Amino acid sequence: MKNILLTLILLFFNLLSFSANKLIDNENIPRISKTIYNGIQSTAPFYTLLGNSSNPGGGMIIADKWILTAGHTAGYSPVYVGANNRNNLPLPLNVKTSITPISFSNTPNPSNDIGLIQLAQPITYSSTVAPIKLASSINFSMWESGQNGYVYGMGFTNSGNLSQVLLSTNVNLLSNTSSTSEKKIYASGPNTNDACNGDSGGPLTNLSSPGNTSTRAIGIVSSNLFGDAQAGCGQGGKYTKISEYLQWIIETIHLNSGIEKICGNTTFTNLAFLPDGVTFNWSASPANLFTTISGSGLSFTTSNNGSNKGWGIVTLNVTLPDGTIFSINSKPIWVGSPENVFLTTDGTFNINYNSTSICKTIGYCMSASTGTGTPTATNFSYSGWPTYGSFLNTNTLNVPNDRICFGTNNTGSYYLTVYAYNGTCSIGKSIIVNVNNCGYRIAANPTQTTLSILLDSPLQTESIPDNIELYDEKNKSRRTLDLKQKKKDILLDPAHAFDLKKIDLDVADLPRGIYYLHMGFGSKKDNQVEKIRILLN
């Protein structure tokens, strides 16, 4: 008796659990978001798992940065390509954007239920991660009445739980007068193999062999056969017919792909495979900017034509098997290196100037020209004499808000070549820079006879060093000057400040070479020293 009672209790809670799962899923997905019902464990390198246990869905790889899915699952994340086991998922990929047609209607029986997910980084293909070829109208026999389709997913099963592994099942395709206007493929029911809650967005293929070169993605899991969120699984389903949306897919990918700048060889691609009967022809304009201005096939490679620069367009011209012809322009692309680079400190000066002076505490600042027709640089770097470790704290920095400042490690005179890089191209300019401390200026550096130290604000005694020492490269002191008493004199009588407007050190008898002027502040215990690099020539 106890055993019978225990069995009934367990059965009651299992049924309750199953109902709860269905209700939770339907609250988030207002239709049968068709995992596999009556399925078998499978693998499919094109399958992509979307979302989490609250909002599960699927998709398929169609290009190195593009996942095809349903409209109502296009916003699901994370994204796992090559997933076949929830207990051993690959690293999720970052999403750049998700796109659905303007005509998409998110209802229990959704119309134009198709979406694209653009990834932030390209997918690395392998034997377990690979794209699938899309069907076109020339493949219409694949979804005729009586044909079998094969659907993949990791959603709910007939046990009432999310599947831990990728499942697939065959579904019997139907002919229905409404399917043409709905742009859907219908699969039979009731009480048949089916997609289920959590499978939405997943692929429907014509063959059960994912690696077969004749395998095509013909549909996308959309809703159940009745467009009713409460109808349950195993009742038959509707699948978005991919061939009806080829133009939208191709246009969307091309308009959102490619790069913003071209210098060296750049390849534009669209789908990973050309659908049967579809042709791609490429063109680039204006012709004076590009090394190659036309081509055909899945990809098109071009580069900057010599020193010419300006804005260009790469156009994809497409012919579909039903005779439809359309063209899509890429976004405007800057072709060539940046036009101008500027260095900025207290004021602004052009990098073509032969020499200038900057302040150590402000640093060495650069910005890209942002005038009309000029791209913004993405980072700056420099080379020259001396190496970057002795002048700036880094030799390459990204540019936030079109401007960046390098922190200086030493003061002195430097000959540099500064490069602005815009993602594909760089342009370099040479400059001589004198770096000194804020509040201090060296009247001549390099110098031959007299090293003059100019103090900008001697009335501000805190800006006056307590001692000045000149060291050679072997760290031997060659000149010493103590200013503590002069600072006290200024406090007693500000007129003494004029005595420190200019301090001269005689260096005529010193060997020519590199020296370091140490400006010391504070007591020896906590002495702070600023070093200025000096050249005697």
The answer to whether residues 127 and 186 belong to one domain is yes
Task: Specify whether 95 is located in the same domain as 140.
Answer: yes
Cα–Cα distance measured from residue 43 to residue 102, given in angstroms and rounded to the nearest whole number? 34
Beta bridge partners, 290, equal 304
Query: What is residue 387's predicted lDDT score, i.e. its pLDDT?
Result: 54
Q: Is residue 253 part of a domain?
A: no
Residues 6+ apart with CB under 8 A from 279: 296, 318, 319
Here the CATH number for the domain that contains residue 511 is: 2.60.40
3-state helix, strand, coil in the chain (%, to 5): 15, 40, 45
Residue 390 domain-assigned (yes or no): yes
Q: Do 508 and 471 have their domain in common?
A: yes
The torsion angles phi and psi of 182, rounded to 5 degrees, stand at -80, -10
Task: Please state the domain count of the chain.
Answer: 4
Contact indicator for 104, 183 with CB cutoff of 8 Å: no
Q: How far apart are CA 413 and CA 433, in angstroms?
A: 6
Tell me, yes or no, whether 395 and 284 share the same domain.
no
d(CA 131, CA 126): 10
φ/ψ region of 513 (left if φ > 0, alpha if ψ in -120 to 50, else beta) reads left
As beta bridge partners, residue 333 has: 312
Same domain, 179 and 58: yes
Q: Decide if 424 is inside a domain.
A: yes
The pLDDT assigned to 205 comes to: 97
Question: Is 252 contained in some domain?
Answer: no
Residue 75 lies in a domain: yes
| Same domain? 70 vs 141 | yes
Whole-number pLDDT of residue 211? 84
Domain boundary among 291, 314, 335: 335
Same domain, 215 and 281: no
Both 240 and 214 in one domain: the answer is yes
Residue 2 forms part of a structural domain: no
| Shared domain check, 469 and 386 | no
- Last residue in a domain, options 246, 275, 308: 246
Secondary structure in 3-state letters for 17-60: HHHHHHHHHHHHCCCCCCCCECCEECCCCCEEEEECCCCEEEEE
Whether the Cβ atoms of residue 264 and residue 422 lie closer than 8 Å to each other: no
Instruction: Return the number of other C-beta atoms located less than 10 Å from residue 184's C-beta.
Output: 26
> Is residue 410 domain-resident?
yes
Q: pLDDT in tens for each of the 537 residues of the chain? A: 444 444 444 444 343 333 333 322 333 333 333 457 678 999 999 999 999 988 899 999 999 999 999 999 999 999 999 999 999 999 999 999 999 999 999 888 899 999 999 999 999 999 999 999 999 999 999 999 999 999 999 998 877 789 999 999 999 999 888 888 999 999 987 678 888 889 999 999 999 988 899 999 999 999 988 766 555 788 889 999 999 999 999 999 999 987 788 888 999 999 999 999 999 999 999 999 999 999 999 999 999 998 788 889 999 999 999 999 999 999 888 888 876 655 554 443 444 333 455 655 555 566 655 445 556 667 667 666 555 455 555 555 555 545 556 555 566 666 667 777 777 777 777 666 666 555 667 777 788 899 888 876 677 676 678 888 999 988 999 998 888 888 888 888 888 877 788 888 999 999 998 898 888 876 655 566 777 788 888
The answer on 156 and 31 residing in a single domain is: yes
User: Is residue 6 in a domain?
Assistant: no
Domain enclosing residue 371, as ranges? 341-436
Q: pLDDT at position 228, please?
A: 62
Q: What is the CATH number of the domain that holds 41?
A: 2.40.10.10
Q: Which two tokens stand for residue 150?
A: 């094969």
Number of H helices, E strands in the chain: 5, 38
- pTM (predicted TM-score): 0.69
What residue has token string 């069995």? 7
Domain's final residue, options 335, 358, 383: 335
Same domain, yes or no: 164 and 300: no
**95 and 209, same domain (yes or no):** yes
Which pLDDT belongs to residue 29?
A: 35
Give the helix ranges, DSSP H, for 59-99.
Answer: none
Query: Quick one: pLDDT at residue 17?
Result: 37
Look at the block and give the residue holding tokens 């019902």.
37
For residue 215, give the 3-state DSSP assignment: coil
